[in-house]
A = this chain, B = another copy of it.
Amino acid sequence: MAQTDTVTRILDTAEVLFAERGFAETSLRTITSKARVNLAAVNYHFGSKKALIQAVFSRYLDPFTVRFHHALDELEAQHAGAVIPLEQLLETMARTVLEVPAEKHSLKVFMKLLGLAYSQAQGHLRRHIQEEYGSVFTRFTDLVRRATPELPDAERFWRLHFVLGTVIFTLSGLDALRDIAEKDYHEHVSVRDLIRRLRPVVVAAMNAPLPPPPAAQPAKAS
């Protein structure tokens, strides 16, 4: 209990501070003093600051991948080899993302961390996430491919990242946006409200008409 307590206290404090300020802007002394543990405890338990950062992510992503694999297993069993509709795939992902942090941590923090991983990670974090959790993403995209056979592979790749950008950007910047929205339209927006609004937009984005071909545009016009 003693060990667990210190380790989780560090993780709980670190994830909040990381989400608020970013990785480089959060010092180990800030974390340890706010968590009321010894400065040396971080290097004792985790080895380094980089390892701490990765541990913070693993605490979210490990249970997420387990649950998501299970959810996809069920979904595939239900459809018995048939193609799973895109809406159900997105629905399953959304539900899993909502379930995991709901247990103890904050969804907002989880999304902020994901946003940071994309924008701030020089190398080690993005590499760590890709190597450790890339397989779930690959399984998901394979199912999406079968659900959208009319889309060229490259087009689907980009559109998945388009909607990924929408979700991460919106949910990671939620606090600031919510303040504006509540002041201007005085209606409270919960995360589940946002996901309700997100669903038709994401589906429409994935099903948008194909763009016109590149239309050879260089100097010599026809």
Contact = CB atoms under 8 A, between A and B. Distances in A.
A196 B212 CA distance: 8
A159 interface: yes
Contact of A166 (B166, B185, B196, B210): B166
Interface in A142-172: 153-155, 157-159, 161-170, 172
A210 B214 contact: no
Interface stretch (A64-72, A75-83, A113-121): A113-121
Interface residues of A, number: 55
Contacts of A164: 169
B173 A158 contact: no
A201 B162 CA distance: 8
Given A119-B120, A204-B205, A162 B170 contact: yes
B24 A22 contact: yes
Contact of A200 (B21, B172, B184, B208): B208
Contacts of A201: 159, 162, 205, 208
A198 interface: yes
A121 B102 CA distance: 27
Contact of A176 (B126, B157, B204, B214): B126
A103 interface: no
A177 interface: yes
17 contacts: A25-B122, A118-B169, A119-B173, A120-B120, A155-B197, A157-B180, A157-B181, A158-B177, A158-B181, A158-B194, A162-B166, A162-B170, A163-B166, A165-B169, A168-B169, A169-B169, A200-B209
